[in-house]
Structure 1
Amino acid sequence: MRILFSGTPAYGHLLPLLPLERAARKAGHTTAFLTHASLGDLVAPAPVLPAGASLEETLDEFHRTTGTNAAEDMSPATAGEFFGGIRVDLGADAALAAAHDFGPDLVVAETADFLGPLAAAHLGVPWASHGVGIALEAPLAEAMWATAAARATARGLALARPFASVDPWPDCLQRDDWKPSRDRITVRPEAHESESGSGSGAGWEAPAFPGREHLPRVLVTLGTIVDDPEALTEIVTSLAGREVNVVVALPPSSADGALPVAGAGVHVTGFVPMRLLLQGMDAVVCSGGAGTVLSVLGAGLPLVIWPLGLDKPLNAERTAALGAAEVVGGAGEAGEAVVRVLEEPSYRAAARKAAADIGAMPRAEDVLPLLTARLG
């Protein structure tokens, strides 16, 4: 079978698809990713079928045409026009041509991607949705769908609803009023570990911290999108003088791979896959991105979350409701919060309970046959 995976060109939108893509490839299926060429190293060795603009170009075009910053405003109207409108406008022609040449039997598209569903409609093949975080609220999801459907209609195409929804977000982190859809298939989320490509973590060695080996280790990361050296510096400064060692992970976009911080208990690194970064850690300070939260909880570690927009406040709220995280309102509050989550055993106990729930979810290699069986 030929399976085309499609996603918005951003780490947080593509990384959740990798476990299923790898399972498909290992099972003998032919796979490819429909996204921007700049993400080729991230999804390697699966090939990329280039389509559409980069995330930065899409944000710029959206701001030019609407005057709105989509990186800060994710109201239904904004999300609908950004994901279902502008991104489709910028990528439809290339996506349809690339998908036609690849000839997929199945398309798997992440929740916010509509180039994949558009290609499926064009080729008359089925498609499945793949979640990347907490289930979208109905007004947001419908605004995105309605806008994308209108763009498809303008091209003489009719978008079909997905035949299945693959969901890596565990039940314990969903909203209190959430109800699973009938077509939902859960899949265990996995912390990222590259197979190949630059930035794969090859050669990564956890810092030794001579003379401080007995101290807890704290990972500080704001994810793959937020590039804010000042905020990272303030977080690290708040940890100064605490009895901890700190590993700071910079985003892939970081220009020089450095921070104006130093000390025997601080180590700064560029992008390293999360599975490697989490080894030997005792707690994590982050901005609440879906992939980071799932990876950290999957490792059974407590968090301090400073939510920085979009879905992050909700992710932080749900993680705190489990008792596995403290939520802070500013970078300078991180140090004291870290001390609390390290000293109070209940945070780690809650994180380990979440890890058990995540570990009980089906593996990608077990989900793949469930998905293909529904094709009939």
Structure 2
Amino acid sequence: MRLLFTSAAARPHVFPLIPLAWACRAAGHEVRVCAGASIADDIVHTGLPIVLAGGRAAQPTARTAQFVASVYCQQPWPADWPVNTHLLNDRQREHLERLGNTIIAGADAMAGDLVAFARWWRPDVVIYETTGYAGAVAAAVLGVPAVRYRFGSSSVLRLELRGDRPLPAYSRLFARFAADVVTEPAMTVDPVPPSMRLAEPALPWHAVRYLPYNGSGCVPRWLARSDGRPRVCVTWGHVMASALGGAAAGPYRQTLDAVAGLDVDVVVVASSEQLAKLGDLPSSVRPVEATPLNLVLPYCDVVVHQGGDGTTLTAAAGGLPQLAITRRPEAEVPSGRVAAAGAGLHLRYQELRHNSAGHELISTAVEKLLADHAYRDAAHRLRDEIAAQPPPSAVVPALVALAGQDRRVPSEQVQ
């Protein structure tokens, strides 16, 4: 069987697919991962075959840059807003539609190459992460099953829809290839543990265990050594730095300065570019450059992060109490779910940035997570909940069954 995996051109979107792709490969099936050139090196290091789609990302226009910056300047949104959209105001709804159109434009840029490869390679199933709309198009063109893979709590939101109808740009994506518009997949795969789900996917769906994959790397030897003090990991993910440049360092630096005053060891997991923007670090802070988060967290007691789905689930799978400091509406969702499960705390950077007591709020939250065993116990329950979900290998037979049910378009119609 041939399986084609695809995603938007961003690490947090493609990394969650890797364990399932490898499970399919290990079961003896042919696998290809199709993605944009900007993440080609990341996929090459997974050991999986990659197919490039679309060129290098164009330099953003002033209007696009302004919109991206606005994503990080939102006031806090209602709790669990993806399933409470009736609580959103007009400006928030407009923001979501613009975000959806931005993602659709990215899908359009890679759809031509993806469809061309799919017509030649003829996959039996196409698996795409929630915003990898080009994958849904390729499956529709070939008449093969499309499988949507959720990447976290926030991916329950359907940005390609306005209510229950597709956005015009989404419909045009299919019309470009004379394919019928498809808004529902043949199956949904969900790695989010039950207590963090906002809603069950529409049937048919398959739960899967979240296995952290944050890239390839080595564990620094010194991490295994400890002076007996608690160790706090601080990380800020991939997306914010690429979107905001130097402005991304604000919450990062505020957090480091606040935590560095505690009687703890602090480990910063960051890229070289992120470290350069942080400037000189306090003496109690040690950087871990370009090391996957899942390799560092086993040596830590608490993690402070930006609230991204991948970071949140990686920490949850490791059983660590979490402090999320968010500044994007999407990041508020997984962070809110972890806090509701009692496994962490959630602060919003918008409320800390100009607050004279901001440093104290952060340091107090970290101290609370270290001292109160209830957070650790809840984090361990969340870890066990994740471990109880079916492994990626259990999803492979369901994909094989889907391939057996497909009714392909005759080959002369897809050449």
Q: TM-score, normalising length from structure 1?
A: 0.88
Equivalent residue for 1:197?
none
Deviates more, 1:145-154 or 1:117-126: 145-154
Closer, same or farther in 2 for the Cα pair 1:348/1:53, shift >3 Å? farther
Identity of aligned residues (%): 27
The one of 164, 177, 195 equivalent to 1:172 is 195
Residue correspondence of structure 1 range 39-54 to structure 2 within 5 A: 39-43=39-43, 44-53=46-55
C-alpha contact 1:105 1:125 (8 A) present in aligned 2: yes
Higher normalized contact order (CA 8 Å, seq sep 6+, divided by chain length):
2
CA contact (8 A) 1:221 1:249 kept: yes
Who is 1:213 aligned against? Answer: 227
Identify which of 283, 292, 297 aligns with 2:316: 297
CA contact (8 A) 2:269 2:293 kept: no
What are the residue-to-residue correspondences of 1:1-376 with 2, within 5 Å? 1-43=1-43, 44-53=46-55, 57=58, 60=60, 63-64=63-64, 68-69=67-68, 72=71, 75-84=95-104, 86-134=105-153, 136=155, 140-143=159-162, 145-146=166-167, 147-160=169-182, 161-175=184-198, 178-192=199-213, 194=215, 200-202=216-218, 204-207=220-223, 213-227=227-241, 228-251=248-271, 254=274, 256=276, 259-263=279-283, 265-329=284-348, 330=352, 332=359, 333-375=361-403, 376=405
Deviation at 1:21, TM superposition (A): 0.4
Alpha-carbon distance between aligned partners in 2 of 1:163 and 1:305, rounded to the nearest angstrom:
34
- Whether the aligned pair in 1 keeps the contact of 2:309 and 2:334 (CA below 8 Å) is yes
Distance 2:230 2:251 in 1: 22
Shift of 1:159: 3.4
Provide Cα deviations, 1:160-193, integer angstroms capped at 9, x if missing partner: 3311000111110123xx2442211111111125
Which stretches in structure 2 are left out of the alignment for 5+ residues? Answer: 75-91, 242-247, 353-357, 406-415
CA RMSD of superposed structures (Å): 2.5
Query: Is residue 150–residue 156 contact of structure 2 (8 Å, CA) maintained in 1?
Result: no
Shift of 1:113: 0.9
What does the per-residue CA deviation read over 1:242-288, in whole Å, with 9 as the maximum and x for residues that have no partner?
1111110114753748741131x321122211220112110000011
Q: Which moved more, 1:347-356 or 1:265-274?
A: 265-274
Q: Which deviations, in whole Å up to 9, do the C-alpha atoms of 1:83-105 show, x marking residues without a partner?
A: 22x11332222222222333211
Change (3 A) 1:348 1:273: same
User: In structure 1, how many angstroms separate the alpha carbons of the residues matched to 2:70 and 2:209?
Assistant: 28
1:70–1:79 Cα contact (<8 Å) kept:
no
Change (3 A) 1:116 1:218: same
Q: Note if contact 1:285-1:334 (Cα within 8 Å) is conserved in structure 2.
A: no
How many residue pairs match? The answer is: 362
CA distance in 2, matches of 1:280, 1:255: 21
- Partners of 2:302 and 2:322 within 8 A in 1: yes
Cα deviation for residue 68 of structure 1 reads 3.2
Larger deviation, residues 348-357 vs 222-231: 222-231
Kept after mapping to 2: 8 A contact 1:275/1:295: yes
CA spacing shift, 1:255–1:348, aligned 2, 3 Å: closer
The residue type paired with residue 114 of structure 2 is A
More helix by share: 2
In structure 1, what residue type is equivalent to 2:120?
A: D
Q: Which amino acid aligns with 1:21?
A: A
Moved more, 246-255 or 280-289: 246-255
1:167–1:226 CA distance, 2 compared to 1 (3 A): same
CA 206–103 in structure 1, closer or farther in 2 if over 3 Å, else same: farther
SS of alignment partner, residue 219 of structure 1: strand
Distance 1:187 1:252 in 2: 33
Residues 154, 331 of structure 2: 8 Å contact kept: no
- One-letter amino acid matched to 1:220: V
Check 1:252–1:25 CA distance in 2 against 1; reply closer, same or farther (3 A cut): farther
CA deviation profile, 1:282-301 (whole Å, cap 9, x unmatched): 00000110011111111111
CA distance in 2, matches of 1:71, 1:42: 28
Q: Secondary structure at the match of 2:161?
A: helix
